[in-house]
Amino acid sequence: MTHQPTVALLGIGTMGAGMARNIAAAGLPLRVWNRTREKADALADVATVAGTVKEAVSGADVVVTMLYDADSVAATMEEARGHLADDAVWLQQSTVGVAGTERLAELAADLGVAMVDAPVLGTRKPAEDGALVVLASGPEHTRDRVAPVLDAIGSKTLWIGEVGAGSRLKLAANAWVFTVVEGVAESLALTRELGLDPALFLETIKGGALDAPYVQVKGGAMLEGSFDPAFALGGALKDAELILEAAGGVGLDLGLLPGIRAHFARAVEAGHGDQDMAATWLEH
């Protein structure tokens, strides 16, 4: 592709808004659509706001989906049926799990569109900074076509293999993220219940081999009660369930994730689903 591709971004949530601004900043013509239009309207200064999926995708070279789950992605792309350009590439970046990706790959074949499976590592701030890590998988001939978009939204793109490989690696990465978050919450809770200031746990490991920037960020948010969502707890619970489903599908018995999933569910049931996943701490 010798020209700048026209991009249609479907889904303007926590991640999509930052991604959209970086795509536009890279000079790519951009159309945005969201089922709740107000979120898309906030991008009217950098993009064309489409009232329908049809308007967004018609003539677009790259169609990006950044939606909640496989059902919402499938429903949205069904609305695009008959309106996708003949040579369009569908850049599917939602976290939908193994079975969800297989389902969407079948839909792509039915729609007659090449699909790249490319979920991302990172939350709201990396999305705003164009610093996401993209886990891409798909046909070789699509790489150059989607490169301008991936370069705009991310600091690194890993091409892993055929469609589905990116989503599988994303589940493994999220399993680690959730392990860290829940581990920090439990260590803070244990410190507190043993009669000590929980901040002492973070101070003890700070700067050492057991520390990590993410540990201090999430632990600090827990102690400060700062739960503005970078990665909402409800979405984390959804992804934890996708991880367990994938593990069960290959006969892998995970020791930690069932407990993490249970703690996330308890916090969601307590009304914290729209807060950051660090809000799991509130139910410890």
Which residues are the active-site residues? 170
- CA separation, residue 23 to residues 57, 120, 146, 150, 221 (Å): 16, 15, 12, 9, 30
Long-range contacts of 218-223 (CB under 8 A, 24+ apart): 218/180, 218/181, 218/184, 218/278, 219/184, 219/188, 221/276, 221/278, 222/184, 222/185, 222/188, 222/278, 222/281, 223/188, 223/198, 223/199
Q: What is the mean pLDDT of residues 205-212?
A: 97
Three-state DSSP at 160 gives strand
Element (H, E) at 130: none
Provide the strand spans (E) within the chain.
Answer: 7-10, 30-33, 48-49, 62-65, 89-92, 114-117, 120-121, 132-137, 154-161
Q: What is the mean pLDDT of residues 36-64?
A: 97
**CATH number of 7-163, picked from 2.60.40.10, 3.40.50.720, 3.40.140.10, 1.10.10.10:** 3.40.50.720
Q: What is the mean pLDDT of residues 232-252?
A: 98
Q: What is the mean pLDDT of residues 150-177?
A: 98
% of the chain exceeding 90 in pLDDT:
98
Is a pLDDT exceeding 50 seen at residue 1? no
pLDDT digits (tens, 9 = 90+) for 100-148: 999 999 999 999 999 999 999 999 999 999 999 999 999 999 999 999 9
The confidence score (pLDDT) of residue 3 equals 73
**What does DSSP say about strands 89-92 and 62-65: parallel, antiparallel, or unpaired?**
parallel
Q: What would the DSSP string read from start to end of 206-227?
A: TTSTT--HHHHHHHHHHHHT--
Read off the tokens for 11.
Answer: 């889904």
Residue with tokens 């308007």: 55
Read off the tokens for 176.
Answer: 């680690």
Q: What is the mean pLDDT of residues 162-190?
A: 98
Q: In the chain, what is the greatest distance between 2 CA atoms, to the nearest angstrom?
A: 65
- Domain positions in the chain are 7-163, 169-283
Is a pLDDT exceeding 50 seen at residue 169? yes
% of the chain exceeding 70 in pLDDT:
99
The structural architecture, per CATH, of the domain 169-283 is: Orthogonal Bundle (1.10)
108 CB neighbour count, 10 Å cutoff: 21
Residue among 129, 121, 114, 56 nearest 95 (CA):
121
Residue among 173, 174, 182 nearest 222 (CA):
182
pTM as predicted: 0.94
Quick check: 182 and 263 in contact, CB under 8 A?
Answer: yes
**What does DSSP say about strands 114-117 and 7-10: parallel, antiparallel, or unpaired?**
unpaired
